[in-house]
Structure 1
Amino acid sequence: MMARIMLDRRRFMASASAAGAVGMIGGPGFADEGPPETMTIRLAYYSNICLAPTLIAGELLRAEGFKDIQYVRVPESFTVPELVARGEVHFASTFAGTLAHHLDNGLPITALAGIHAGCYELFAHEPIRTISDLRGRSVAIQELNSDGHFYLAIMAAHVGLDPQRDFTWVTGPDLNPLKLFADRKVDAFLAFPPEPQELRALKVGRVIISTVQDKPWSQYLCCALYGGRDFVQNHPIATKRYLRALLKAADYCAAEPRLVAQQLADKGMSRLDYALQTLIDIQYRSWREYDPEDTMRFYALRLHEAGMIKSKPEWIIAEGTDWRFLEEIKRELKA
Structure 2
Amino acid sequence: MQIMQTRRRFLAGAAMAGAAGIVGLPESLHAEPPLETTTVRLPRWVGGAYCWAGAYIAGELMRADGFTDIRYVEADKSVDQSEWIARGETDFSVNFPPNQIASIDAGVPIKVLTGLHSGCLELIAKESIRSVTDLRGKRVGVDGFNNSRHVWLSLMSAYVGLDPVNDIQWVLTEDVKPTELFVQGKIDAFLGTPPQPQELRAKKIGHTILNNAVDRPWSQYFCCMISATTDYVNRYPVATKRVLRSILKAADLCVSDPERVAQQVVDRDFVPSYDYALQTLKDIRYDRWRDFDPEDSLRFYTLRMQETGMIKSSPQQIIANGTDWRFLDELKRELKT
TM-score by length of 1: 0.93
Once the two structures are TM-superposed, the CA of residue 103 in structure 1 deviates from its matched residue by 1.4
Q: Name the residue aligned to 1:184.
A: 185
Residues 293-308 of structure 1: matches in 2 within 5 Å? 293-308=295-310
Once the two structures are TM-superposed, the CA of residue 85 in structure 1 deviates from its matched residue by 2.5
**Which string of whole-angstrom CA distances, capped at 9 and with x for unpartnered residues, describes residues 82-130 of structure 1?**
2213322111101111111121122111111000011111011131111
Q: Name the residue aligned to 2:86.
A: 85
1:75 matches 2:90? no
Residues 165-244 of structure 1: matches in 2 within 5 Å? 165-244=166-245
- The DSSP-based 3-state class of the residue aligned with 1:285 is helix
Contact 2:140 2:170 in 1 (8 A): yes
Partner Cα separation in structure 1 for residue 184 and residue 151 of structure 2: 24
Q: Name the residue aligned to 1:124.
A: 125
**Which string of whole-angstrom CA distances, capped at 9 and with x for unpartnered residues, describes residues 295-333 of structure 1?**
011111111111111212111111111111111111111
Q: Name the residue aligned to 2:27.
A: 27
Q: 1:85/1:231 Cα in 2 relative to 1: closer, same or farther (>3 Å)?
A: farther
Any unmatched runs of 5+ in structure 2?
none
Q: Name the residue aligned to 2:140.
A: 139
- The DSSP-based 3-state class of the residue aligned with 1:103 is helix
- The DSSP-based 3-state class of the residue aligned with 1:82 is helix
- The DSSP-based 3-state class of the residue aligned with 2:277 is helix
Q: 1:159/1:312 Cα in 2 relative to 1: closer, same or farther (>3 Å)?
A: same
Q: 1:103/1:78 Cα in 2 relative to 1: closer, same or farther (>3 Å)?
A: farther
Letter aligned with residue 33 of structure 2 = G
- The DSSP-based 3-state class of the residue aligned with 2:166 is coil
Q: Name the residue aligned to 2:109.
A: 108
- The DSSP-based 3-state class of the residue aligned with 2:290 is helix
Q: 1:68/1:157 Cα in 2 relative to 1: closer, same or farther (>3 Å)?
A: same
Partner Cα separation in structure 2 for residue 35 and residue 105 of structure 1: 34
Partner Cα separation in structure 1 for residue 43 and residue 270 of structure 2: 18
- The DSSP-based 3-state class of the residue aligned with 1:303 is helix
Any unmatched runs of 5+ in structure 1?
none
Supply the RMSD in Å over aligned alpha carbons.
1.8
- The DSSP-based 3-state class of the residue aligned with 2:228 is strand
Once the two structures are TM-superposed, the CA of residue 222 in structure 1 deviates from its matched residue by 0.8
Contact 2:15 2:264 in 1 (8 A): no
1:14 matches 2:15? no
Q: 1:31/1:158 Cα in 2 relative to 1: closer, same or farther (>3 Å)?
A: farther
1:42 matches 2:41? yes
Partner Cα separation in structure 2 for residue 239 and residue 15 of structure 1: 21
Q: 1:239/1:77 Cα in 2 relative to 1: closer, same or farther (>3 Å)?
A: farther
Letter aligned with residue 224 of structure 1 = M
- The DSSP-based 3-state class of the residue aligned with 1:169 is strand
**Which string of whole-angstrom CA distances, capped at 9 and with x for unpartnered residues, describes residues 168-211 of structure 1?**
22225423222111211011011100111111122211110011
- The DSSP-based 3-state class of the residue aligned with 2:310 is coil
Counting aligned pairs with the same residue, the percent is 48
Q: Name the residue aligned to 1:314.
A: 316
Once the two structures are TM-superposed, the CA of residue 15 in structure 1 deviates from its matched residue by 5.0
Aligned length: 330
**Which string of whole-angstrom CA distances, capped at 9 and with x for unpartnered residues, describes residues 9-67 of structure 1?**
312323553x4x3xx21236x54441221111111111111110111112210122111
Contact 1:48 1:269 in 2 (8 A): yes
Partner Cα separation in structure 2 for residue 112 and residue 43 of structure 1: 14
